[in-house]
Chains A and B, each alone.
Chain A
Amino acid sequence: MNLHHFTAHQALEKISTKQTSAKDILAALGKKIAETDSTINAYVRISETPVCPSSEASQKASQEASQKASPSQTNQLPYPVPIAIKDNICIRGHETTCSSRILKGFIAPYDATVVERLQKAGVPIHGQTNMDEFAFGSSTETSCYGPSRNPWNPDCVPGGSSGGSAAAVGAHEAIWALGSDTGGSIRQPASFCGVVGMKPTYGRVSRYGLLAFASSLDQIGPITKDVADAALLMNIIAGYDPRDSTSADIPVPDYTRSLIKDIKGLKIGIPKEYFMEGIDPEVNQAVQEALQILKNSGATIRDVSLPHTEYCVATYYIVATAEASSNLARYDGVQYGSRHYPAQPRRNALIDMYEETRTQGFGKEAKRRIMLGTYALSSGYYDAYYLRGQKVRTLIKSDFENVFCDCDALITPTSPTTAFRIGEKMNDPLAMYLSDILTISANLSGIPAISVPCGFSKAGLPIGLQIMTKAFDEETLFRVAYTYEQNTEWHKQKAPLA
């Protein structure tokens, strides 16, 4: 087996028995990236010297970490398995651009909390991955570095906005990766690339150092080759952070203890609104087969309803763009990034600088979302749009709370379709937005959700199964996902470009 084909837990095992080393794995990944990334374009930056403490510091850090770690975590430290992270997570001393021109040249002077945690656990960061600009998109086509491509079919998108991370893992150009998810940006690309992608409960993982898209929706999460790796990675990155006021002060269990093949008696709900027309028949078929496997494993399946589902996309595109329009106001050329002035003066030098810098720096989709969000908050429209959106969000959230009274988990397809062709939806923003229709609700209600591979279309494109549980119940999430995965072989399939 090639080193770069390992999962993280396999690599850990080999490293601990001295059959290989982090250095060897890095070399293998480097070679693989050199071979295929010119096609896949998953990476925007490779670290010449991977971001990790020196071996001496690493040992000390591991020692300290094992002293501080909860009992459930000590048996897993350290984790010297290199990781790739999305280009919207700050790494001290490194350029971090959100795949946007406006941040070219911005060198983060501090580490995101998740980066600090990776470093404490001895995980080297070997590269930063491509994304839709500012996470605005579902295809990684709006990146200023050009689109990333799907390792199963390079004429297709890898999904977005964490398309680079998903493509890297799918192509085995990365052992594991971090992405971010605001409306499905981890799960949908994971589904398109045939890998595992998980969005934690809102507040489970710190957002400090994550360049914000929509503050009340964003979460950082794992993109991995299998469920076990996702659990391992969650062990490292999850937990309370006093620097993030929205971070939950709830202890982190050892998620690897949920990796058990047992869901007997588990009640699984199938929300009927997620199976309406518009779902690709092959996707539907794969999900039905998955449900059968879960039934055979002892779960009971029942139909449930989430009545406000049809309003999710509209609600999201009001609330998320409103917050985004405000979060992106800081990109103005004053402190960092490039500054521009118009050829001919327009209003006054200062306003001209703001306008030209932002006009040249932001791509089309970014401008569209900023405009939409600004409009939704503007005087005279706030009540009709933003406030109304926040109220509908309450209804969406309570739909889930109601359903989880009688269910332990919900199962749906991750995406209505498999990966679409590059360029197919770029001229129809609304069509692009609607591809998030099945994933958005988890962000609006704050619950955790995971996508696992559950089949392939006839064209050979991966299909994803989405599992959702109630807030802070990642343990059930992992248990269902692991049980399903271990009863299938989908996660072992390799992409043509892998």
Chain B
Amino acid sequence: MAQTEGAPGMNQTAYETVIGLEVHLQFNTKSKIFCGCANTFGAEPNTVTCPVCLGLPGSLPVLNQSALEYAIKVALALNCRINPKVRFNRKNYFYPDLPKGYQISQFELPIGEDGYVELPSDTEERKIRIHRAHLEEDAGKLIHDPAQNCSLVDYNRAGTPLMEIVTEPDIRSPEEAYFYLQTLKLLLQYLDVSDCDMEKGSLRCDANISLRPQGDPQLGTKTELKNMNSFKAVRLALEHEEERQTKTLQAGKTIAQETRLWDENLQVTRPMRSKEEAHDYRYFPEPDLMPFHLKPSAIDTLRASLPASPHQTCQRLKSDYDLNAYEAGILIQDRDLVDFFEACMREYSETKKIVNWIIGPLMQETNARKKNLKDLSLSAQAFVDLIKKVENGMISNLVGKDVLKIIIDTGQNPDIIISEQGLAQISDASALEQVIQEVLAENQKTVEQIKAGKQSALGFLVGQTMKKTRGKANPKMVNELLQRRIHNG
């Protein structure tokens, strides 16, 4: 809900925020949607094009079967009704990145309609309805060169298969929009149909936002927001626009229906200058592509081939392994992590230990290295082996974390690492005596404090001992030995 304090005399109505999101998802098929050009990113301009994706005179489109299957999978994962007959339409408009002067898209018979996305929550069940999900081709890329007063067009991206996912205006806050995007992204990642990477442009988002008086069923005038390059930018743009619209309405003015661009530098939305009139897209059925009849049996086969959703996986982890919501919630953020966890569980049944090692040291490594688990060469076998060694006292917990780093860096087996680097935990009391004596001698003051009753200072001495033994001392043993020496003289 949006409300700001206004000057006296200003309208103090409480407004409800109404948001709809339009997400474009690039599929990671091998080839483009209507031609055999490679579906890649980052190539030199206009080096991955052909008569079809350039829209050259005489060229004709032929649909990529995988693009269709991916689209159906996405629509199913979004709980859409799949239309038994789908077809393509031409959306006609002029723009330099649109080589044919029309985009091949879908209009009255899209792949899926009337679906929903459940936003996971411990409290209320929130469903964001999906109005439609359809398949279309991406346009080329336009880069502006203000110095030269020109714009440059690269058609490498033209013809990339794109799924457009449009919500109903069910979202009620910028925060919820952010949450929807995160939920949607995870859902889509599980399907393996896209990189879902906003930075690379494989996931793009436009937003529509309007305000209406609380309780009013009519929708207010909406503005369309574009040019947000991250989920965070979507939230910020919506927050900014929500505030702008609130102030405008409270001042008694009306909202202009317009498209506004998010300015990342200035952190504001600004109206687009070039949108003079609404487009008349003159949709008509694409004569160069035949319609598709989607047999129920084919849909069922695709449905059966869908992997478990993040939500389903989360439930399963909680019930099968007795994980709590937090633990399961972290694991499901990466399907590979889930697989890894389950592989570990097959080797070793200490659930909590495995979960803690994954959520703790392992994820620290992936975060520090800015990599995903699948990019690291770490087997479940080696990981479990390491955990067992810590549990049975062969190495200390601290050393264990270091060994993990080395396993990831070198791929070597923990036994070899431990023996080569002499990392085995020192649990032999006689071996530790020497060091203990040194530590006590060097820290007389602390010893006096402990004797005087400050037990907490013992930790410092344990730490000193660990330092001297380069982490190898068995901390429990060190603690016991120190206590004995201090109190028994």
**A residues lining the B interface (CB < 8 Å):** 89-90, 96, 98, 103, 106, 108-110, 112, 207-212, 214-216, 242-246, 322-323, 326, 328-332, 334-335, 348-350, 354, 374, 377-379, 382, 386
Surface stretch bound by A, among B97-105, B179-187, B208-216, B235-243 = B97-105
Min C-beta distance of B100 to chain A, whole Å: 5
Q: Which residues of A contact B287 (CB under 8 A)?
A: 214-216, 246, 323
Other-chain residue from B58, B100, B274 in contact with A112 (beta carbon distance below 8 A): B58
Among residues of A, the one whose C-beta sits closest to the C-beta of B52 is A243
Produce 1/0 per residue, B127-171, CB < 8 A to A. 000000000000000000000010101000000000000000000
A242 CA to B63 CA, complexed, in Å? 11
Are B101 and A103 interface neighbours, CB within 8 A? Answer: no
Please tell me if B343 contacts chain A, counting CB pairs below 8 Å.
no
Are B282 and A374 interface neighbours, CB within 8 A? Answer: yes
Other-chain residue from B62, B94, B99, B282 in contact with A377 (beta carbon distance below 8 A): B282
Please tell me if B289 contacts chain A, counting CB pairs below 8 Å.
yes
**B residues lining the A interface (CB < 8 Å):** 51, 54-63, 90, 92, 94, 96, 99-102, 149, 151, 153, 274, 280, 282-284, 287-290
Are B60 and A335 interface neighbours, CB within 8 A? Answer: no
A382 CA to B90 CA, complexed, in Å? 14
30 A-B interface contacts by CB (under 8 A): A89-B58, A90-B58, A96-B57, A106-B57, A108-B57, A110-B56, A207-B58, A208-B58, A209-B58, A209-B59, A244-B60, A246-B60, A246-B287, A322-B284, A323-B284, A326-B90, A326-B282, A328-B101, A329-B92, A329-B100, A330-B55, A330-B99, A348-B274, A349-B149, A374-B282, A377-B282, A377-B284, A378-B282, A379-B280, A386-B284
Min C-beta distance of A366 to chain B, whole Å: 14
Among residues of B, the one whose C-beta sits closest to the C-beta of A216 is B287
Among residues of B, the one whose C-beta sits closest to the C-beta of A210 is B58
Other-chain residue from A211, A215, A322, A330 in contact with B288 (beta carbon distance below 8 A): A215
Residue with the highest number of chain A CB atoms closer than 10 Å, among B58, B90, B92: B58
Among residues of B, the one whose C-beta sits closest to the C-beta of A354 is B94
CB contact under 8 A between A211 and B96, given known A322-B284, A323-B287: no
Other-chain residue from A322, A329, A386 in contact with B102 (beta carbon distance below 8 A): A329
Among residues of B, the one whose C-beta sits closest to the C-beta of A110 is B51
Top 10 A-B pairs ranked by shortest CB distance?
Answer: A329-B101, A215-B287, A377-B282, A216-B287, A209-B58, A211-B57, A379-B280, A90-B58, A330-B100, A330-B101
Other-chain residue from B92, B99, B153 in contact with A326 (beta carbon distance below 8 A): B92
Q: Which residues of B contact A211 (CB under 8 A)?
A: 57-58
Min C-beta distance of A321 to chain B, whole Å: 12
Q: Which residues of A contact B274 (CB under 8 A)?
A: 348
Are A326 and B57 interface neighbours, CB within 8 A? Answer: no
Other-chain residue from A112, A243, A326 in contact with B62 (beta carbon distance below 8 A): A243
Among residues of A, the one whose C-beta sits closest to the C-beta of B46 is A335
Q: Which residues of A contact B153 (CB under 8 A)?
A: 334
Q: Which residues of B contact A214 (CB under 8 A)?
A: 287
Min C-beta distance of A336 to chain B, whole Å: 8
CB contact under 8 A between A382 and B284, given known A245-B62, A326-B90: yes
CB contact under 8 A between A245 and B56, given known A329-B102, A379-B280: no
In terms of DSSP, what is the predominant structure of the interface of chain B? Answer: loop
Other-chain residue from B57, B61, B63, B284 in contact with A103 (beta carbon distance below 8 A): B57
Residue with the highest number of chain B CB atoms closer than 10 Å, among A98, A215, A322: A215
Given A108-B56, A109-B56, A246-B60, 9 more contacts at CB 8 Å? Answer: A208-B60, A212-B57, A244-B62, A335-B56, A335-B99, A348-B274, A377-B282, A382-B283, A382-B284
Min C-beta distance of A308 to chain B, whole Å: 21
A419 CA to B334 CA, complexed, in Å? 74
Q: Which residues of B contact A334 (CB under 8 A)?
A: 96, 99, 153
Q: Which residues of A contact B94 (CB under 8 A)?
A: 329, 332, 354
Q: Which residues of B contact A244 (CB under 8 A)?
A: 60, 62
Among residues of A, the one whose C-beta sits closest to the C-beta of B285 is A390
Among residues of A, the one whose C-beta sits closest to the C-beta of B280 is A379
Min C-beta distance of B180 to chain A, whole Å: 32
A309 CA to B148 CA, complexed, in Å? 58
Min C-beta distance of B291 to chain A, whole Å: 11
Are B282 and A212 interface neighbours, CB within 8 A? Answer: no
A109 CA to B284 CA, complexed, in Å? 29
Among residues of B, the one whose C-beta sits closest to the C-beta of A214 is B287
Among residues of B, the one whose C-beta sits closest to the C-beta of A207 is B60
Among residues of B, the one whose C-beta sits closest to the C-beta of A247 is B60
Q: Which residues of B contact A349 (CB under 8 A)?
A: 149
Q: Which residues of A contact B290 (CB under 8 A)?
A: 245-246
A210 CA to B288 CA, complexed, in Å? 12
A45 CA to B193 CA, complexed, in Å? 49
Residue with the highest number of chain B CB atoms closer than 10 Å, among A243, A323, A382: A243
Are B280 and A378 interface neighbours, CB within 8 A? Answer: yes
Q: Which residues of A contact B90 (CB under 8 A)?
A: 326
Min C-beta distance of B293 to chain A, whole Å: 15
Q: Which residues of B contact A110 (CB under 8 A)?
A: 51, 56
Q: Which residues of A contact B63 (CB under 8 A)?
A: 245
Q: Which residues of B contact A386 (CB under 8 A)?
A: 284
A433 CA to B456 CA, complexed, in Å? 101
Min C-beta distance of A202 to chain B, whole Å: 11
Among residues of B, the one whose C-beta sits closest to the C-beta of A350 is B96
Min C-beta distance of B33 to chain A, whole Å: 12
Min C-beta distance of B94 to chain A, whole Å: 6
A209 CA to B58 CA, complexed, in Å? 4
Among residues of A, the one whose C-beta sits closest to the C-beta of B61 is A245
Q: Which residues of A contact B102 (CB under 8 A)?
A: 326, 329
Are A109 and B57 interface neighbours, CB within 8 A? Answer: no
A145 CA to B58 CA, complexed, in Å? 21
CB contact under 8 A between A330 and B60, given known A110-B51, A215-B288, A245-B290: no
Q: Which residues of A contact B61 (CB under 8 A)?
A: 245
A112 CA to B282 CA, complexed, in Å? 29
A187 CA to B59 CA, complexed, in Å? 25
A427 CA to B155 CA, complexed, in Å? 42
A208 CA to B288 CA, complexed, in Å? 10
A438 CA to B60 CA, complexed, in Å? 29
Min C-beta distance of A212 to chain B, whole Å: 7
CB contact under 8 A between A335 and B54, given known A208-B59, A326-B90, A377-B92: yes
A231 CA to B149 CA, complexed, in Å? 56
A379 CA to B92 CA, complexed, in Å? 12
Q: Which residues of A contact B100 (CB under 8 A)?
A: 329-330
A211 CA to B99 CA, complexed, in Å? 15
CB contact under 8 A between A379 and B60, given known A323-B287, A332-B94: no
A216 CA to B289 CA, complexed, in Å? 10
CB contact under 8 A between A245 and B282, given known A103-B57, A326-B102, A330-B55: no
Q: Which residues of A contact B56 (CB under 8 A)?
A: 108-110, 335
